[in-house]
A and B are shown apart, each in its own frame.
Chain A
Amino acid sequence: MLETARQYRRYEKSPVEETRAFLEKIRSDPFNAFVTIDEAGALRDAQAAEELLKSQEPGALAGIPVAVKDNICTRGLRTTCASKILSDFVPTFDATVVKRLKEQGAVILGKTNLDEFAMGSTTTSSIAGPTRNPRDPSRTPGGSSGGSGAAVAAELCAGALGSDTGGSIRMPASFCGITGLKPTYGSVSRYGLVAFASSLDQIGPMAPTARDAAVLFDAIKGHDPLDSTSVPRDYGPTELDGIDLKGLRIGVPEEFFGEGLNPEVKAAVRSGIETLEDMGGRVVQIGLPHVGYGVAVYYIVATAEASSNLARYDGVRYGLRAQGALDLGDMYALTRATGFGPEVKRRIMLGTYALSAGYYDAYYRKASQVRTLIAQDFRRAFSRCDIIVGPTTPVTAFRLDEMIDDPLSLYLLDIYTIPANLAGLPALSIPCGFDSLGLPVGMQLMAPHFREDLLLGAGISFQDRTTYHQEGP
């Protein structure tokens, strides 16, 4: 991304040619990374960028072709959330992140595939059909931002935006062998992100390298008065030269290396940690005694919020409306029965149950209390270390025909990514090796609130020293 920007400035490449080349590749994309391609819009953006580049201060992303997950609103461009219920929905406004990308001259190529309403880990439940992993098309790219992950890995865009509620950026980053950042809750505006779970959702960058992720992150972060949960503070630019790891205390939680972790993943992450040590980092054993409850807490809190957030898809103002209903009640029930897929229904049901009379205290309230204990675990841990490192996912990308059909087992794939969402912490996934099939393994780095500089700095330095992120499919 940085190299492309330099080439633009030296007129070695032109945004329009670059955009045409990307669009050409996307048209013959065998991985089904996109739900909607916006050729006209992208070329318009690219032409505007040509002009921009002649000016004194072209934006940092002038002419850079990016992709946006299809649960982020784009004015005048269909935004489906990969759901039948929104299959024809055209937003009348841009999400704040999209506005910021455009302001900095980015070219938006189109909207990437996801699990319906970002609920899933496989990018298979989409109205646009499943996305395939560019590393091995018989396998899932992970989810829910699998379209963005695949688009970046297949070089169909220079970078992409994903959203992460319980691991939806990091998991596909890990499965596709790219870099993905889930920022601190409140550092990137959620205005225009179609809500799944409001207290957990966060938009973040997905890119070939930590350096590119940092450029994208800098472009979208910052306070937004339209999002009450956006944090007003000074957001300085990220140092793109990496950081000196000497003396950096690297917390390794034993809970992240227990039962259920694939031995090959474990070995790759261990070797990644050794590299960090070689670079001057100091490993500290830490304990996060309550993270084991994370999945249970998450699937109560997230589904409870989702059951409410998805109530607006009722066939009244926009989206699908079931025909032939006798009255309003009938229309609601039919619209939602036909408009939502099985996983979305399952989660709405679970969340409705967790909030319903007689169960609120045992489920929603209890989960919210345990959430406090998990956040406390991290606060304690960060008094002893600067970053926490472990695996992003317990396994590598699995075959689409070996899909796990048991929901609970799929939920447990999020075991290492969920805690950062519950505690609002920033977390980065970077490639740290391969399994015996040559599938990429992701290493997750977590830091205290607003310390993306540590994560991206360490990631950049790690990638300057390793080649895992460069080894293509």
Chain B
Amino acid sequence: MKAYDTVIGLEVHAQLLTRTKIFCGCSTKAGLSPNTNTCPVCTGMPGVLPVLNRKVVDFGIMLGLATGCRIASRCIFARKNYFYPDLPKGYQITQYEHPLCEGGEILIETGQGIKRIGITRIHMEEDAGKTIHDEKAPSSYVDYNRSGVPLLEIVSEPDITSTDEAVAYLRELRQILMYLGVCDGNMEEGSLRCDANVSVKPAGSSRYGTRTELKNMNSFRNVQRALQYEIERHIEIRESGGEVVQETLLWDPSRGVTVSMRSKEESHDYRYFPEPDLVPLEIDAAWIDGVRSGLPELPFARRKRFIGQYGLPAYDAGVLTQTKTVADYYEECVRLLDRPKEISNWIMTEVMRVLNEQGIAITGLNVSPEMLTGLIALIDRGSISGSMAKEVFAEMAATGDSAGSIVEKRGIGQISDEAELRSLAREIIDAYPDEAGRYRSGKAGLLGFFVGKLMKATRGEANPKLASRIIKELLEG
């Protein structure tokens, strides 16, 4: 088999976390009863007109700046004309010529180092409603609650050359969207959707092969599987002397195959033209600067800073910057207690475990940065042991109580009362005169024997360091 190069471009749709829809004052809330979250505008009644939600433009500029795009000084909306029951006006308001953002990039980490994936454009558009199909029923059912929810469409250059890169790009983009707080990034629920253009060409050739468009990949895993399947399908067709047909395919995750979206209609002709009901947008430097000043540090930059500033391994930096809230939590902890690596360990193990178990985000965690650093300080002071601290943490996460009050309540604080330990230690040394003699004659290894006895006598609650010092003093003194 010949070697082939894979060429992938991704089109990602991100639902925006605005309060209201893009062209009307209905809320963007999901999960309401059908058609209760609609108005004459988003159901396309005769005579209605759209009015643009300023926040959508702000969010678009944010993402444009975060991905190094040029923000258009003037952009316009267009109508994309096609018929479908969940498209109430018979056209979608989107952008075609003169989009909001053009010419940016996203950096991804690959096995071969850092790679730049170009962003062709980012534009604003409205979402459609939902059509529910029932194979057995003679009808389909339409719900317009989602109609008019704002979307950003992010189109990449065909710079992606493997499924791993595609997933890495998608993860990075998702992370940026979530950092910016413009999208919740939930692929299963469809607030982040990914379509792909795929083609293969003989290795080194400059001529692109025929591409197919893939839709309906609603998880990272499905993106990976669908792209892998499609690439192999293209190669098989070429190897057997066939030709790839340019078409749109749906990924069927249950069967693990791509299926042609056979359309009765002749080729699509969307008849784009400038939307006459909306006026052009002019975006000046002041507007852009205003948005820029509110931009958070982005994941890629933050990872690099965590490595440099806190001396963290790249792995830790990657995990901690996965979401903005976790990174913020980490930095708040470090601000309170200058133990960057210990804090990192705690977050990557105990904190993450609790988040997974409880299925919550870190913002919902019962343990605040003050409480976590308070716990670590208890260990440092020798008040509790590391293994005890894990139990204390679990209880903190469950109850929201502070480490100090839990330790006190359960009486599990280490015995650090020197006088108490000293008298116990004396009793033990007196009980083992032979061993004490051998120690004094040079058998230093017997120190552990005495410390062990002392720990046992305190049911493990003695501070081991203190216990060791006292035994040593008594034997040698």
Contact = CB atoms under 8 A, between A and B. Distances in A.
Interface of A: 72-73, 79, 81, 86, 89, 91-93, 95, 190-195, 197-199, 225-229, 304-305, 307-308, 310-312, 314, 316-318, 328-329, 332, 352, 355-357, 360, 364
Interface in B26-56: 40, 43-52
Return the 3 tightest CB-CB contacts between A and B, nearest first: A311-B90, A198-B276, A355-B271
B189 interface: no
A332 B43 CA distance: 17
Given A198-B277, A329-B264, A352-B271, A308 B91 contact: yes
B273 A355 contact: yes
B43 A86 contact: no
Interface in B44-81: 44-52, 79, 81
15 contacts: A91-B40, A93-B45, A192-B48, A194-B47, A198-B277, A199-B276, A227-B49, A228-B49, A228-B279, A308-B79, A308-B271, A312-B90, A314-B90, A316-B142, A355-B272
Contacts of B49: 190-191, 226-229
Interface in B246-298: 264-265, 269, 271-273, 276-279
B89 A228 contact: no
A317 B44 contact: yes
A318 B85 CA distance: 12
A32 B279 CA distance: 39
A311 B81 contact: yes
B140 interface: yes
A199 B276 CA distance: 6
Given A229-B279, A308-B273, A332 B83 contact: yes
B269 A318 contact: no
A31 to B, nearest CB: 26
Contacts of B400: none
Q: Classify the interface of chain A: helix, strand, loop or mixed.
A: loop
A188 to B, nearest CB: 13
A357 to B, nearest CB: 5
B141 to A, nearest CB: 11
Interface size class of chain B, counting residues whose CB lies under 8 Å from the partner chain: 20 to 34
A312 B40 contact: no
B368 to A, nearest CB: 44
Contact of A311 (B51, B89, B140, B279): B89
Nearest to B80: A308
B374 interface: no
Interface of B: 40, 43-52, 79, 81, 83, 85, 88-91, 140, 142, 264-265, 269, 271-273, 276-279
B83 A314 contact: yes
A317 B278 CA distance: 24
Contacts of A91: 40, 45-47
Contact of A328 (B43, B88, B140): B140
B273 to A, nearest CB: 6
Contacts of B43: 317
Give the one of B44, B45, B91 with max A CB within 10 A: B45
B69 to A, nearest CB: 25
A191 B47 contact: yes
Nearest to A79: B46
Given A228-B278, A308-B81, A311-B90, A357 B48 contact: no
A192 B88 CA distance: 16
Given A192-B48, A355-B272, 15 more contacts: A91-B40, A195-B47, A198-B276, A228-B49, A228-B51, A307-B271, A308-B91, A311-B90, A311-B91, A312-B89, A314-B90, A317-B44, A329-B264, A356-B271, A357-B271
B51 A225 contact: yes
A200 to B, nearest CB: 9
Most buried by A among B48, B91, B269: B48
